[in-house]
Structure 1
């Protein structure tokens, strides 16, 4: 038995493990092309020649080493020896990177992937190895050139879709750091990671969240809303993805704030409140519930809002938030709310915080907070009109305006808006001239 035969026969377990890995990758590339059966096994030849090539490269004879490897690569490729071909491709790029020949590395990556009948799994191994060189590049231009080369050779290839997604994410981060937010967003939007069958679900969600973040950064709220639907909230139910869950709902809250969808914000904060890591932190739990309360009373009245506010009223945690419990009770009790009295009783705590408690940030002392505070008073007026509709069958506009503490014209406008929305049913008697 020769030395090469002895090496071949002494490692059957290793070859079996490698075959298992090849089969896994073949599952990925099966729908992208025909799986090629090995015709000649060059494992023994590679075991003999690869160390020689490495020695030549270490002694400064990189070109000679590459020439030897390229000749051997042609043999393994024409013989359909995927495993040996992958070993050779990986060694070629390793030697180029080790020698600091980054331009040559880019050239060899392009050259090797363009060769006729190139084996897909060998390319996948080479691309995976090249991705490990990104952190060792000497400067940013070299890094960008390598990323560009790898993205070029992975375009449209399903068997290296994961590597392409990670490279694109890294490039988008670089663009964002340079202030090119629009370019970074466009790069990420081109990734349809939800269709990647070989990518882990968590990584998919992370990349989709990154797409959402960049859309919000560039104020593309419509696209952010569309992208958010690619994530199933059932993914967060196992309690192991709290970090991603909180990030998702943070983006959804920002989206809903732009749309002034107060009921949606309330639901998102309820999801935050029901997160395990939030439940374990008393301060964060109380803050989440405060936001739930304030946004549910800010939401326009309908059947869903009415059902939600009554369920929130029954939450035991409100015993620790007496002022917020009183706010909810004001809107669930069939009594008129006095605007001046409400402001005097709650404004200080809701807008500024009291006794060392920080305000929630729902009603800050700025234009945005003032607009929400105004919306809150609109909800008070709407609540009072609904109460009048329950207690009165006939009332004059002047009396209604007096009870609402509004001018008659403003009271009439509010009433008309509620009739149009279907919140109340009203008939008015008016004189026409």
Structure 2
């Protein structure tokens, strides 16, 4: 417990000033007024010297308010006279003074950041950013300001085409550890990091950065726009990995956003992409479960999209789906199967054909225990080699139990019977027969008793 208290005290000393020993507010106000008159008369250096004398007294007495006002006024006088070299010099000099108070440094940095758009030239703006970066470096109480400066500098570099440099700058700042930064601003900063690493095709680092955002945070009402942005970035990441199931889940998260559901155009777009990427995912139990839930939960919305409702029904029913599909041209025109906004549209169209073939194989497995390879290829409308390849892939994925006899050109569906399990199967069959015999005897006895009772009554 004592160690925790000591640790808290040390942290507090890094972010707060000691208690003021003396109040210099009146003397500071008088000095600022007199310095303003001297500066108006062109005697800026005298005004600065007068301010620094009182600033030193306030600093030594830990009067943060007065020291801050005097330090800021010094910088302001140089800025108003357009003496930018002096602004840079004193902006670096004042924070380095012995015992300088944190409030003074914070106020000077925040004030100087407001001048970034008033520098008059991009070169001077970059110099001021560099000066502020040097001032804020290593100071925990201005870590938020430093992060904003880095973000601004990264934006300038990106505008010049230096995307790699911009991404590296942003990665150096770990905003997830900043306690003073607002949670929305923190999330926006992390999303900017993700955007820049995606721009340089660094997908591994994008996945690492995405772990810094808690998905539960994105469910807040004021985070809806950030949630859409986050999952849009994750779609690009999972596409690079070729994981269409995760891509589908990302679009479902976008579809589940209240602001998206309020717009018919938005929810139709996200729901269509969710369904198409779900169909491109491997044919396993998870995919089938999600398809059934989509048909059940969003039935009314699917009714407004007849084409996609028909495709969903085709994949859920135990019937062979024809290829090419009757609505193939209309479906192929969808942006999921185009090169923009996501590259690889033609590959995804080929993958859809592959999933339909695999679906058809699973349907055939429901109705046949043995079928000729030639006949199976004919049903699937593919070559024998492709039929064999897709069947083998499903067997390896354990989606279908089958055995291919290549010399005989036959495919046998169903699990191989285990010899050790046969006695158990026989035992169950015998038990069923005995149960039926016992039940039949009971019914016969019941009928005899009923017939005997009727005979007595007569």
TM-score (norm 2): 0.82
1:283 CA displacement: 1.8
Partner Cα distance (2:43, 2:367) in 1: 97
State the Cα deviation string for residues 54-89 of structure 1 (Å, max 9, x = none).
221122111111111122221111121112111111
Counterpart selection for 1:194 from 156, 169, 176? 176
Does the 8 A contact of 1:29 with 1:159 survive in 2?
A: no
Give 1:362's aligned residue.
336
Are 1:416 and 2:398 counterparts?
A: no
C-alpha separation in 1, matches of 2:111 and 2:237? 39
Q: Name the residue aligned to 1:337.
A: 321
Residues in 1 aligned to 2:119 and 2:127: alpha-carbon distance in whole angstroms: 10
Aligned residue in 1 for 2:331? 350
Q: Given the superposition, is the C-alpha separation of residues 279 and 182 from structure 1 closer, same or farther in structure 2, using an over 3 Å criterion?
A: same
Which of 337, 359, 365 pairs up with 1:383?
A: 359
**In structure 1, how many angstroms separate the alpha carbons of the residues matched to 2:41 and 2:29?**
20
Change beyond 3 A, Cα 1:50–1:226: same
What is the CA–CA distance in structure 1 between the aligned matches of 2:322 and 2:13, rounded to whole Å?
68
> Hey, what's the Cα distance between the residues in 1 that align with 2:358 and 2:36?
80
1:196-275 → structure 2 map (5 Å cutoff): 196-275=178-257
- Structure 2: tracts of 5 or more residues without a match: 1-7, 409-458
How far apart, CA to CA, are the structure 2 residues paired with 1:365 and 1:101? 53
CA distance in 1, matches of 2:15, 2:259: 46
Query: Shift of residue 37 of structure 1?
Result: 2.5
- 1:26-425 to 2 correspondence within 5 Å? 30=12, 32=14, 35-314=17-296, 315=298, 316-340=300-324, 342=325, 345-352=326-333, 359=334, 361-364=335-338, 368-425=344-401
Higher RCO, 1 vs 2 (CA within 8 Å, ≥6 residues apart) = 1
- How big is the shift at 1:379? 0.5
> Alignment partner of 1:241: what SS?
helix
Equivalent residue pairs, number: 397
Q: Flag the 1:244–1:365 CA change in 2: closer, same or farther, 3 A.
A: closer
Larger radius of gyration: 2
> Aligned partners of 2:89 and 2:123: how far apart in 1?
16
| Compared CA separation, residues 338 and 33, structure 1 to 2 (3 A) | closer
Do the aligned residues in 2 keep the contact of 1:339 with 1:377 (CA within 8 Å)? yes
Unpaired segments of 5 or more residues in structure 1?
Answer: 1-25, 353-358
Q: Distance in 2 between matches of 1:265 and 1:77?
A: 57
Contact 1:147 1:167 in 2 (8 A): yes
Moved beyond 3 Å, runs of 4+? 26-29, 428-432
Does the C-alpha gap of structure 1 residues 34 and 87 become closer, same or farther in structure 2, counting only changes over 3 Å? closer
Indicate the SS of the match to 1:334. Answer: coil
Q: Indicate the residue corresponding to 2:431 in structure 1.
A: none
